[in-house]
Structure 1
Amino acid sequence: MAGRYDRFPTLRVPGHEVLLGYEALVGALARRVGALRLSGADRVVVACDSYPGVRDDEVLEALARLRPEVLVDTRELFPEPDELTRRMEPFLTDDRVFGRMCFGELEDFMDAGSLTSARERVGGARGLVVVCGFGAALVHPGDVLVYCDVTRWEIQLRYRAGMPNYRCDNGGDDPLRKFKRGYFVEWRLADRHKARLLGRADFVVDTVDAGSPRAVAGPALAEALDVASSRPFRTVPYFDPGVWGGQWMRERFDLPDGAPNYAWSFDGVPEENALALAFDNAVVRVPAMDLTLLRPLPLLGEGVYARYGAEFPIRFDLLDTMGGQNLSLQVHPTTDYIRRAFGMAYTQDESYYVLDAEQGACVYLGLREGVDPGEMMAALERANAGGEPFDAERYVNRLPARPHDHFLIPAGTVHCSGAGTMVLEVSATPYIFTFKLWDWGRTGLDGRPRPV
């Protein structure tokens, strides 16, 4: 039974054409370079910067068709993988899931000597120079600036398919560890760098589809962001299976049959979702985070912006256990703990709004009166070590859940939705700080124990 849910929301931005494919993009760049040369420039630099996770080889091969006198691949300006990992170690930790937020600058992680040499090489060149890759604008700001973008959901899919982290040889590693490195380090550096570039980019390129980029002129993107920040919009949702997932969304949202279930839908998470911008001849997908970075004040308003800065401090997602299992029993850190442990200024308060529920469905919420925390922790440790299963109802309140019930869940409250519920989760955070306490003794879809 398919409903009226729109899986492919777009934001209409008329009056602009999209460059489809590398041939069109390279042709537009050649014309721009030619005009600059005709104006008397004896050197023209095309800086093609990118987000880590973009297919660099593909982009570099395309730009080589411009036949530049000098071609700089920025991957050569970073340390060897072992040294780069050493520099990131303070933010990575030994934990499988959690690191520490990196507040550094991209240049801190590049090789200083190589970067200086590249700048000198470009500065002394004549003719056409192309600098391509993550950090290209640190070599030269570009007489023509191109930015190749990609959504974080697409990056996560590439991690699962075997893509390594940037300038790393960990392609076969645990995807959760790759995600951790991206989330806590690479994406923080990249967002800080990108925020300084997008506003002056001549072209912005959607690189989601292999071999088929979609590029728009910088002014077209600027207009699209103005439109998005001044009216209601939706981000493009994505859906993911999970060990506890259900069937409610599949039946009502007309989702593909390939997955065993659908546990999550992330429908309003600018950190990860895309904006689909419908220009005259094609749709271009850009990270919704671009809107947050470039239009924070009109998007958020003065009060929210003053409190949180250029972050979208709320997320919307759907949790489907209809015909599935309990979520992991979990807790989100208090404000004091998240500040001390992760350098974050605020934490995850949230709520569950029950859209639908089976007979007898429940939500686990808060510790029962008189529970001894030490006794509970000992029971959790024994259960997670393979001993007697954790008796959740002995320690945690089990509350009946019916359609349209609304449960408030302050940070520090043990909770989870039970089997047979369809929940709209609204959380006061864009981030991922969920501590799983007990996963009911099961493994993940990959057959591995889920991290607790």
Structure 2
Amino acid sequence: MKSLYDPHPKTKINGYPDALIDGWDAIRATLQPQGPTLVFDTYPGVYDEKVKTELKQIPHDVWIDAIDMFKAKETIREQLRYHITDDRIFGRMYYGEIDNFIVPEKRAALQARAKEAAEAGQRVIVYGYGASLIATGTLVYLDMARWEITLRYRNGMANFQEDNFDEDALRKIKRGFFTEWRVADKHKRSLFDSIDYFLDTNDMDHVKMVAGEAVRAGLAQMAHRPFRLVPYFDPGVWGGQWMKDVCNLDPDKENYAWSFDGVPEENSIYLDFGNGYIELPAMDLVLYEPKPLLGASVYSRFGAEFPIRFDFLDTIGGQNLSLQVHPLTEYIHRTFGMAYTQDESYYILDAKDGATVYLGLKEGVDKEQMIADLYAANRGEILFDAEKYINKFPAKKHDHFLIPAGTCHCSGADAMVLEISATPYCFTFKLWDWARVGLDGLPRPVHIDHGKQNIQWDRTTKWVEDNLVNAVYTVREDEHVKEEHTGLHELEYIETRRLWIEDEALVENEDNVNMLNLIEGQMARIESVDGSFEPFEVHYAETFIVPASVKNYKIVNPTDSTIGVIRAYVRKPQA
């Protein structure tokens, strides 16, 4: 049966049927009558020179580049040295402001120039990251998805105010993740209510623009009904073949290793206005509508951050993942400036015979010998004997392996993993990578120095079997639905419930954002109990989000066979 998985989901926005302004000619025609000052503020990663070539065709008397108010690249580099670090992957979270990178005297001079020109009746255009700090006028915000920025880094784009075009892409992504994107999101959030137009420059061959009023209305609608994010898929040295068929991807690609299908910090959203759609970062929704999206209790605990992540790891026809461990909360906070850590689990969506998961330590492991062997293996002196130290469990479809931080783990070959985890995205300490190099030809980063400080040496075979492997019990069961608790461990803040649905099931979300995936069956329908949103159809393996504002909802099975849904939400603190 052909898969119905939609790799390009769009969210229909009501009330703005002709909102999309498509192409540079239409954009210029819309903006030209505005004025006398046009302000184009940008997210770092926009192809500035290409955009400026198009915008400079709008008649103007004075053009001001916001980049001229920033500190020199050498000064910024030194200022961020502590946060960027020398590591390829890990930096330290930067919590500063855009003002920290601006020379006040330079900004004041640009402000004076813009004001003087406007008062003289001249047409002024201010362009670039932070342009809104120089002048007021019609404000256009050039937004971008992080995945597109990542691809641009790989293709040679430099970081903001840098000339590191040829630098290792992982280092450029690290700088974006730990510094640039944090500051840019904070700046963008301060502008949301005053943006007159959002300009989508993800595809330079097809730029689009939508009025700010329509975008804000669209985000508000999304925060009150089920929706999907736009997933992305990427190859890897260990990647498999399962997602090609199920997710309707390019069959000519060598493999697809992993996919983010449920990571608002990384994914984008398509807002469909009827005459076309605009692509925006999904974080725009989190930043602009955090309370209705997350719920009061989750928002009070995490702020405007989405604390649950679903992603795919495909090793069917591929190889083992790296043997790894995630940092403890205290360690990630002290070392990297993160508030919480990457607890996770592996839900086995599918598996071939012989599939396995490595999880926890064997009884009686010699700690010093294991660490010595890991160092020796990564120096190329030996091959690390993983099965001497790590439990290896058979994995079959619908098994659930829980992985609280500090637990050694990895998926073996021939498993399709739905990874359900906390959101921190890059904090994987690889211990052993089976003597491989990455697709870039470079040795994949290994972090034994970090890892050995986080391995919980008491998580051995019996404890793992009792606590982390298929810790399933029934919560409710009747002729309509069987609901099971499948995890996560009590050390983790995420609760997961699996629902086997014959016809329909009522879900009470308790003012708590829900992230779900259809793990069995061709399709399901999400329906409102009060008529507040139209029925929402999902298909096998699709991840979807139900905002906290929805309160209660029904999952309806329109097929003749039982369907299965995995549901994740944030546990409320114990009284």
TM-score category, normalised to shorter length: over 0.9
Partner of 2:571: none
Displacement over 6 Å in runs of 4+: none
Match of 1:203 in 2: 197
Whole-angstrom distance in 1 between the partners of 2:379 and 2:313:
28
C-alpha displacement of 1:198: 2.0
Unaligned runs of 5+ in 1: 34-43
Q: Which residue of 1 aligns with 2:142?
A: 148
For residues 370 and 336 of structure 1, the distance between their equivalents in structure 2, rounded to whole angstroms, comes to 26
Query: Contact 1:51–1:134 (CA<8 Å) still a contact in 2?
Result: yes
Equivalent of residue 135 in structure 1, options 121, 130, 133: 130
Shift of 1:195: 0.4
Asked if 1:242 is matched to 2:236, the reply is yes
What per-residue deviation string (whole Å, max 9, x for no partner) do you get for residues 132-169 of structure 1?
111111112x2211100010000011111111111211
Deviation at 1:116, TM superposition (A): 1.9
Partner of 1:19: 21
> Which of 54, 58, 64 does residue 72 from structure 1 map onto?
64
Show the counterpart of 1:277. Answer: 271
Alignment-derived partner of residue 60 in structure 1: 52
Aligned to 1:39: none
Two-structure CA RMSD over aligned residues (Å): 1.2
Unaligned 5+ segments in structure 2 are: 447-575
SS at match of 1:66: coil
Contact 1:2–1:254, Cα closer than 8 Å, also in 2: no
Q: Displacement of 1:211 after TM fit?
A: 4.0
How do 1:140-179 residues align onto structure 2 when only pairs under 5 Å count?
140=135, 142-179=136-173
Q: Percent identity?
A: 54
Asked if structure 1 preserves the Cα contact closer than 8 Å seen for 2:64 and 2:125, the reply is: yes
Give the equivalent residue in structure 2 for 1:358: 352
Q: Which amino acid aligns with 2:69?
A: L
Q: Is the alpha carbon distance of 1:258 and 1:136 closer, same or farther for their aligned partners in structure 2, counting shifts above 3 Å?
A: farther
Q: Is the 8 A contact 1:46 1:144 kept in 2?
A: yes
What is the deviation of 1:128? 1.8
d(CA) in 1 for partners of 2:400, 2:287: 32
Q: What displacement does 1:28 show? A: 1.3
Measured in 2, the distance between the counterparts of 1:430 and 1:94 equals 20
Secondary structure of the residue aligned to 2:37 is strand
**Distance in 2 (alpha carbons) for counterparts of 1:417 and 1:153:** 25
Aligned residues: 441
Tell me, yes or no, if the aligned pair for 2:6 and 2:248 is still in contact at 8 Å.
Answer: no
Secondary structure (helix, strand or coil) at the match of 2:397 reads coil
The 1-side partners of 2:55 and 2:204 are apart by 15
Structure with bigger RCO (C-alpha 8 Å, 6+ apart): 1
**Could you say which residue in structure 2 is the equivalent of 1:115?**
107
SS in 2 for 1:356: strand
| 2:34 counterpart residue number | 32
> Following TM superposition, by how much is the alpha carbon of 1:259 offset from its aligned partner in structure 2, in angstroms?
2.4
Kept in 2, the 8 Å contact 1:355–1:422? The answer is: yes
Asked if residue 408 in structure 1 is aligned to residue 411 in structure 2, the reply is no
* Larger strand fraction of residues: 2
Matching residue within 280, 287, 297 for 2:291:
297
CA distance in 2, matches of 1:60, 1:15: 32
**Alignment partner of 1:256: what SS?**
coil
**Which structure dedicates a bigger proportion of its chain to helix?**
1
**Matched residue, 1:8:** 8
* Match of residue 38 from structure 1: none
Kindly provide the amino acid, as one letter, of the partner of residue 421 in structure 1: A
Q: Secondary structure at the match of 1:49?
A: strand
Q: Distance in 2 between matches of 1:113 and 1:418?
A: 57
Q: 1:204-353 counterparts in 2 under 5 A?
A: 204-353=198-347
Q: Which amino acid aligns with 1:122?
A: A
Tell me if the contact between 1:328 and 1:436 (Cα under 8 Å) persists in the aligned partners: yes
Q: TM-score normalised to the size of structure 1?
A: 0.95
